[in-house]
Structure 1
Amino acid sequence: MVRASIANESLINRRPQSGIAQYQKAETGQSTRIGRFLKATFDYAVTIPGLLLIAPLFLFIALMVRLDSPGPVFYRRRVLGRDGRVFYAFKFRTMHVNGDEIMARYPKLKRELEQNYKLKCDPRVTKAGQLLRKFSLDELPQLINVVLQDMSLIGPRMITPEEITKYGKHGDDLLTVMPGLSGLWQVSGRSDTSYDERVTLDMEYISNWSVWMDLKILFKTPLVVLRGDGAY
């Protein structure tokens, strides 16, 4: 147990080397019945009280999004869940509704987006969206996905069906667990990490998962979010 704790602490506090590391397929942890039970218990115990506490913040953000630019308050993103099931993850809308039209004016940025699925300076993002993204407030509606057990509080980062090819032979391992609202990627640099580094962090999390590791990531997440590290 002591060795496991030291290993988890090391994973949480370091950035990965470039390139995708190799891992054996996990046969324990979250893929077991007891592992899934522990994850679900942990998620419900934290998320349900949390949703009640931040309900006023939800209403304030919804009003801010509505007043900032035309369009719906929420955005649904089509993503992959455990066992390859496709579901819609909820987010507060942070982009203009004519985002595709705006991106067509910037072919270089469009190519960067297609390669990395992230842009540091995204012309589609609204003023309110910039603030929400900086502190990850746009992702708060995903707490609803956690209650629905589409997602977990802590887990690998959420990806679209098209992104699974970037995981290569690790794709099957990724789909043995639910994506997380936070995770190793979020507390290890967020968008400042390369895509290969993100894959490595996801695989490290899956291979070394424990409830203790989830707790460490959960408590570290607010500090990272408040500093705005790697957020865009």
Structure 2
Amino acid sequence: MSKKWILITGGSRGIGRSLVTELLSSWNVIFTGRTETGLSDTLAEAAKIDSPFWARGYACDGKNEVQVEELSLSLLEEFGPPTAIIHNAGIARDALHIHQNADVWLDVINTNLVAIINWNRHLVPPMLLEGYGSIVLMSSITGLKGNIGQTAYAASKSAMFGVARSLAHEVGRFGIRVNCVAPGLIESDMTEAIPVEKLKAMKKNIPLRRLGRPEEVAKVVEFLIGENSQYITGQTIILDGGATA
């Protein structure tokens, strides 16, 4: 059994679940989530995929240093360093700026941003020794253009651009590439809850006149961690149907 593997954080729903099922055709996938139900649902979807590779899910909160350290060390001992890390886990905690407080901001920043270093400080050093690998940060066009009620979320997603650029300089000489993906409005449980007329108006602001599909995001990530993107690092790929054009 091949031990080559990739890590996907936040793989228990939405884009994360699509990442698991799409990438399972080419890699062994280890993913995390915060609920056992979400993990089970993703594993059930993965079981439907006809693939020679395997998927495993673990309950782990990325902002919890102890949980991340324990799981990272266990995975390294069993499988060795990952081929890729996809930092997908995130929350929004939407509210008008004047209705937020430091606790809300810390929750968003810790979940979306600090979790990156919690994972990287354990998993990246062994990758450096391997001399090969890819890191992908799941950002958002909100980090580029802003959005009402998402100042904390936008701050965390904008920060990812800087993290990717700086980290790309640090690890490039070891053969590790670091890039961002910035999706726009993607089909999800949240978009399904948007009233039909409001959603129709939102689509009119997208040149392609539709929402993105989770599997389309997964295909871009697949490109960034695969063999056809070996000279791409420190970049952000925008996937928004032209919304920021």
Instruction: Give TM-score, length-normalised by structure 2.
Output: 0.28
Instruction: Give TM-score, length-normalised by structure 1.
Output: 0.29
